Amino acid sequence: MRALIRLVLLGIAITPCPLHSALAVAQDVPVAEVGADYNYVHTNAPPGGCGCFSMNGGDGWFAYNFNSSVSAVALLSGQHASNIAGSGADLTLTSYLFGPRYSWRKSGRYMPFGQLLFGGAHAGGSFAPGSAGYPGSSNAFAMTAGAGLDVRLTERFAVRVFQADYYHTHFANGVNEHQNNLRISVGLILRLGKR
């Protein structure tokens, strides 16, 4: 968690430009964007109550911008936890998600956005469904719904200062057959082309 706080503070520190100068920047829309993020996931994978634990990992994504507001996004992510609750069990969660993103680019450098992605997830490791003693398949439906803030540094680069997602997976667990997780991300963005 300390690493996450440091990354968020670093993102804020490298974007010291005052708001009035941001508003003076002309609207700048790339044709596409490619990003890499660090992820922290707070998960409730065990059924009943919270039984929560933390996972760390990252993602890579590609967005094609149809115009200044609407984009199509493809995202591949992976997170891992070891020695869950002192049990010695481990879990690796990989997801592949696709869907729309809506961005507000009217404020120049600062680009808040919201997105809704759907796809699948794969669980691996001794804590995964389908492993010894756990029912169900290691593959399941997954979705995220969230929002964040990107800050343009130059014409080619931006930083994802913060993103928070509701991260839902639908693995069999013998009780309620779903997991409701929180995913926090920070990262770097490469902006390709210009509209």
- The tokens describing 71, both together, are 């984009």
Q: Please write the tens of the pLDDT for every residue from 125-157.
A: 887 777 756 667 789 999 999 999 999 999 999
Here the tokens at position 18 are: 């005052």
Residue 171 has pLDDT above 90, yes or no: no
At 58, which CATH number?
Answer: 2.40.160.20
β-bridge partners, 60? 36, 76
Whether 21 is covered by a domain: the verdict is: no
| Res. 14: pLDDT tops 50 | no
Note whether 189 and 34 are within 8 A (CB).
yes
Number of structural domains found in the chain = 1
Evaluate whether 109 touches 88 at the Cβ level (below 8 Å): no
Residue 23 falls inside a structural domain: no
Looking at residue 48, what is its pLDDT?
A: 57
State whether the Cα torsion 28-29-31-34 is positive or negative: positive
Angle at Cα 160 formed by Cα 157 and Cα 166, nearest 5°?
A: 150
Instruction: Let me know: does 21 contact 179? Beta carbons within 8 Å.
Output: no
Q: What does the mean pLDDT of the chain come to?
A: 83
Q: What is the predicted pLDDT for the residue at 22?
A: 38
Q: What angle do CA 74, 76, 81 make, to 5 degrees?
A: 150
22 inside domain:
no
The answer to whether position 19 is within a domain reads no
CA gap 27, 36 in Å, rounded: 23
DSSP 26: P
DSSP classification of residue 142: E
Residue 132 lies in a domain: yes
Query: Which residues span the domain enclosing 80?
Result: 2-12+29-192
Do the domain assignments include residue 24? no
